């Protein structure tokens, strides 16, 4: 069949790609009909991942992109060296106590991956993390896993599950060497450093030892990559003999399992995007039948935390039953369906997100005015003692708090100008300690940068928050890099980035459009950007761009946009909706053939996604709505598109490579200046290894600077 398009040639030729013209995929019409509507898709054949023609086309795309960006080689290298030069390559994390050991990670200059280590606790009453020597091993250090060794011989390497038994004698770790997020779990004897015969294949992330260390609880996925089954493995036996603790037959739900911090209970959780259900099993009797906390009710989400008060076992339940922004209640462990005592009442001014119980203290995480907040909770009164910070924009969250009896609580803090900082709070004295701040080498000074919160008014009158950072002294209208996501109630909170400095120091302002579909302003913010309200996400992003242009921050010729995954859908939609607002669009692993994917329940995770996007297979209204915005369906030859770069990975199981491949082919038909870069041995998260990741980001930033005509600009 002749290739489509003017002046093109098929990309299935044998041999290296060398042409001044872009590769053009052949058109092979495929028809599909739903709800009386017939669609002819010319590029669906690109889905055949094992086809030599498809692989040849993808390789041709890579070669063409390299050809078209060859002039950026020097800039790519400079940016890579800037990232590398600002990063302390030999570094270590703040040790975290677990049992009788302090655990920490080390990175070593020249090595791609981290090294996991531990040293013994000197005093059982000592909860102050030890100060470790820079650039070398600590006295008594034991390396429990060197990912550089494990990654030898593999183009891709990702560490999934990682857990040490409570007695500190065994390690379990999961490895993915394909990028498809299926892990093989192994068990290592830490005294000898030798792996046992146990090998659990095809697992999802999140495997854990039982408290007594004799068993492993893990999860496997079905053919559509949905975690659907929880298993119990007895260490020293064959995987074939493992017991199924729970199987979820409903394709809308995924499952996970883990032990409470108290180590008293195993929680088995099943959840969709809108509904959840938790089962309990005593940790010392894992063969018992799991007991449901609250039976699932459509639209009700809840999570469970074990608490002990006055010698009695209780459950803290965070739920949204008649409480859109969630309410916290407490029930007896013996009778979770009994009368619930309200601990923290629902408030539309505050989105409760998490609660964590320890032996002597309880913490909460929540969101107010679009920003994250944390505090100590008095479960008796419901009072929250919030931990406050001075910056107008920041991100904060509890993390690394494993031990039931610990008196020191750890949390992370950062902003667009403040590097990630690890702090600890002594709950006995109220003292706050800074344990570590992300090193930024060179002459970095937060005072050289300024951050702002702006609000754009959307077309329907909704106020949309914008987080902005730029170098002091930079004035508009100038080059601006606008980022967005807007799905799954995921919030794009303001955080620090070393790589971003290469843009800021060249005079580029960076902004985050907190569009509807995310969770920044509570549950309603999410609900107003999903299913039949999804197009609010797209119009919000365009309205933010218009605000930044109107207020003098930038101009269309100096504005570039970026988003990844579901944010890539956002990029594709705004490219169709308002191509004249942007000089360039970077779409990472973009979900741009949304209608085709969500129509096919045989594809990975599709049925689960119906709660997010709607079910176009059975609902004609959803079908028509999605067809009206799906980027691939709506490429318009009458429009003049900005420069577009799509990045993807061959082994991505979340957003298949075929989506950007088809999208770019159709953009080419419309005359758009589109490029595609595909990693041939990676997954949804891109390449593995920190140096590879830095080079990948340097390539993307160099392309953005090229669009902004700043390739010859030196950093300030």
Q: Which pLDDT tens digit goes with each residue over 465-524?
A: 999 999 999 998 999 999 999 999 999 999 999 999 999 999 999 999 999 999 999 999
pLDDT of residue 263: 97
pLDDT of residue 446: 97
pLDDT of residue 683: 64
Sorted by sequence, the CB contacts under 8 Å of residue 461 that are 6+ apart come out as: none
Which secondary-structure segment (H or E) carries 86? helix 73-86
Burial class (CB in 10 A: 0-12, 13-18, 19+), 154: middle
pLDDT of residue 247: 97
pLDDT of residue 26: 95
Using alpha carbons, list the distances in angstroms from residue 11 to 17, 21, 66.
Answer: 8, 11, 15
Average pLDDT score over residue span 291-307: 97
Residue carrying structure tokens 């091993």:
137
User: Among the options 198, 242, 652, 706, which is catalytic?
Assistant: 652
Average pLDDT score over residue span 44-73: 96
pLDDT at 8 over 50: no
Number of H helices, E strands in the chain: 12, 39
Question: Is 652 marked active-site?
Answer: yes
pLDDT at 2 over 50: no
pLDDT in tens, 391-425: 999 999 999 888 999 999 999 999 999 999 999 99
pLDDT at 686 over 60: yes
pLDDT of residue 716: 83
Average pLDDT score over residue span 634-643: 98
> How far apart are alpha carbons 204 and 295 in whole angstroms?
25
pLDDT at 365 over 50: yes
Average pLDDT score over residue span 279-285: 97
pLDDT at 208 over 70: yes
Q: How confident is the model at residue 652 (pLDDT cuts 50, 70, 90)?
A: confident
Average pLDDT score over residue span 579-588: 98
State both tokens at 405. Answer: 């009896």
> How far apart are alpha carbons 456 and 465 in whole angstroms?
6
Using alpha carbons, list the distances in angstroms from residue 593 to 58, 465, 643, 660.
Answer: 17, 28, 19, 8
Question: In the chain, pLDDT over 90 holds for what percent of residues?
Answer: 89
Looking at 90-94, 177-181, 575-579, which range is the least confident one? 177-181
Average pLDDT score over residue span 42-69: 96
Q: How confident is the model at residue 236 (pLDDT cuts 50, 70, 90)?
A: very high
pLDDT at 98 over 90: yes
Q: How confident is the model at residue 88 (pLDDT cuts 50, 70, 90)?
A: very high
pLDDT at 536 over 80: yes
> How far apart are alpha carbons 119 and 142 in whole angstroms?
6
pLDDT of residue 16: 40
Three-state SS sequence of 122-186 = CCCCCCCCCCCCCCCCCCCCEEEEEHHHHCCCCCCCEEEEEEECCCCCEEEEEEECCCCCCEEEE
pLDDT in tens, 264-278: 999 999 999 899 999
pLDDT at 337 over 60: yes
**Across all residues in the chain, what is the average pLDDT?**
94
pLDDT at 1 over 80: no
pLDDT at 184 over 80: yes
Q: b or e along 562-596 (b: 16 or more beta carbons within 10 Å of the residue's beta carbon)? A: bbbbbbbbbbbbbbbbbbebbbbbbbbbbbbbbbb
pLDDT at 291 over 90: yes
pLDDT at 71 over 50: yes
Average pLDDT score over residue span 600-609: 88
pLDDT of residue 380: 95
SS3 label, residue 603? coil
User: Among the options 491, 565, 597, 630, which is catalytic?
Assistant: 565
Question: Is 20 marked active-site?
Answer: no
pLDDT of residue 133: 87
pLDDT at 687 over 90: no
pLDDT of residue 224: 83
pLDDT at 15 over 80: no
Query: Do residues 277 and 271 touch, judged by C-beta distance below 8 A?
Result: yes
Average pLDDT score over residue span 375-383: 97
pLDDT at 9 over 50: no
pLDDT of residue 680: 86
User: Among the options 165, 493, 684, 706, which is catalytic?
Assistant: 684
> How far apart are alpha carbons 215 and 408 in whole angstroms?
30
Please name every residue paired with 560 in a beta bridge, in sequence order, or none if there are none. 481, 584
pLDDT of residue 367: 97
pLDDT at 6 over 70: no
pLDDT of residue 134: 81
Region class of 322: left (phi > 0), else alpha (psi between -120 and 50), else beta: left
> How far apart are alpha carbons 618 and 615 in whole angstroms?
6
State both tokens at 359. Answer: 């032996």
pLDDT of residue 682: 62
């Amino acid at each position: 069949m002749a290739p489509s398009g003017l002046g093109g040639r098929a990309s299935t030729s044998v041999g290296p790609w060398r042409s001044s013209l872009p590769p053009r995929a052949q058109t092979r019409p495929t028809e599909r009909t739903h709800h009386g509507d017939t669609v002819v898709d010319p590029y669906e054949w690109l889905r055949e991942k094992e086809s030599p023609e498809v692989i040849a086309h993808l390789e041709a795309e890579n070669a063409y992109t390299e050809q078209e960006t060859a002039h950026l080689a020097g800039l790519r290298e400079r940016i890579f060296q800037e990232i590398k030069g600002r990063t302390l390559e030999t570094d270590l994390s703040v040790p975290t106590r677990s049992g009788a050991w302090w655990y920490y990670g080390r990175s070593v200059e020249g090595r791609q991956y981290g090294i996991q280590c531990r040293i013994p606790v000197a005093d059982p009453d000592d909860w102050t993390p030890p100060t470790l020597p820079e650039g070398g091993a600590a006295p008594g250090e034991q390396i429990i896993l060197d990912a550089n060794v494990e990654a030898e011989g593999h183009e891709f390497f990702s560490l999934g599950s990682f857990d040490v038994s409570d007695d500190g004698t065994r390690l379990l770790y999961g490895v993915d060497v394909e990028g498809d997020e299926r892990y093989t779990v192994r068990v290592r004897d830490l005294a000898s450093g030798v792996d046992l015969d146990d090998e659990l294949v095809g697992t999802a992330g999140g495997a854990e030892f039982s408290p007594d260390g004799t068993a492993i609880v893990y999860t496997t996925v079905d053919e559509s990559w949905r975690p659907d089954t929880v298993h119990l493995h007895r260490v020293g036996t064959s995987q074939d003999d493992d017991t199924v603790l729970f199987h979820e037959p409903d394709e809308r739900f995924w499952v996970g399992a883990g032990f409470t911090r108290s180590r008293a209970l195993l929680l088995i959780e099943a959840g969709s995007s809108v509904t959840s259900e938790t089962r309990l099993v005593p940790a010392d009797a894992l063969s018992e039948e799991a007991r449901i906390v609250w039976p699932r009710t459509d639209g009700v989400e809840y999570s469970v935390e074990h608490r002990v008060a006055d010698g009695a076992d209780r459950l803290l339940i965070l739920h949204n039953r008649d409480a859109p922004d969630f309410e916290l209640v407490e029930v007896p462990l013996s009778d979770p369906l009994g009368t619930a005592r309200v601990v923290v009442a629902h408030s539309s001014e505050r989105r409760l997100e998490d609660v964590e119980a320890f032996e002597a203290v309880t913490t909460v995480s929540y969101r107010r005015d679009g920003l994250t907040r944390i505090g100590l909770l008095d479960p008796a009164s419901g009072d929250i003692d919030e931990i406050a910070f001075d910056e107008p924009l920041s991100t904060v969250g509890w993390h690394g708090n494993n031990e039931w009896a610990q008196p020191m609580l750890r949390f992370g803090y950062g902003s667009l100008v403040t590097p990630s900082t690890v702090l600890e709070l002594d709950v006995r004295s109220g003292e706050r300690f800074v344990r570590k701040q992300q090193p930024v080498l060179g002459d970095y000074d937060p005072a050289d940068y300024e951050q702002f919160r702006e609000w754009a008014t959307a077309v329907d009158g909704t106020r949309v928050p914008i987080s902005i950072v730029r170098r002091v002294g930079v004035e508009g209208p100038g080059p601006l890099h606008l980022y967005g996501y807007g799905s799954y109630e995921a919030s794009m909170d303001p955080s620090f980035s070393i790589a971003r400095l290469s843009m800021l120091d060249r005079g580029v302002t960076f902004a985050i459009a907190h569009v509807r579909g995310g969770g920044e302003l509570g549950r309603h913010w999410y609900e107003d950007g999903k299913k039949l309200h999804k197009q609010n996400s797209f119009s919000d992003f365009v309205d933010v761009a218009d605000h930044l242009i109107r207020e003098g921050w930038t101009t269309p010729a100096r504005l570039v946009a970026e988003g990844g995954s579901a944010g890539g859908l956002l990029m594709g939609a705004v490219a169709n909706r308002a191509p004249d607002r942007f000089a360039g669009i970077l779409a990472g692993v973009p979900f741009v053939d949304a209608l085709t994917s969500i129509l096919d329940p045989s594809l990975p995770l599709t049925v689960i996604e119906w709660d997010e996007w709607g079910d176009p297979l059975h609902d004609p209204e959803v079908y028509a709505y999605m067809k009206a915005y799906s980027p691939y369906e709506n490429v318009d030859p009458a429009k003049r598109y900005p420069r577009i770069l799509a990045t993807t990975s061959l082994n991505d199981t979340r957003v298949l490579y075929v989506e950007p491949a088809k999208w770019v082919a159709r953009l080419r038909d419309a005359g758009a200046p589109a490029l595609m870069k595909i990693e041939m041995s990676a997954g949804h998260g891109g390449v593995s290894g920190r140096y590879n990741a830095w080079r990948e980001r340097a390539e993307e930033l160099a392309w953005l600077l090229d669009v902004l005509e700043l390739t010859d600009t030196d950093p300030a």
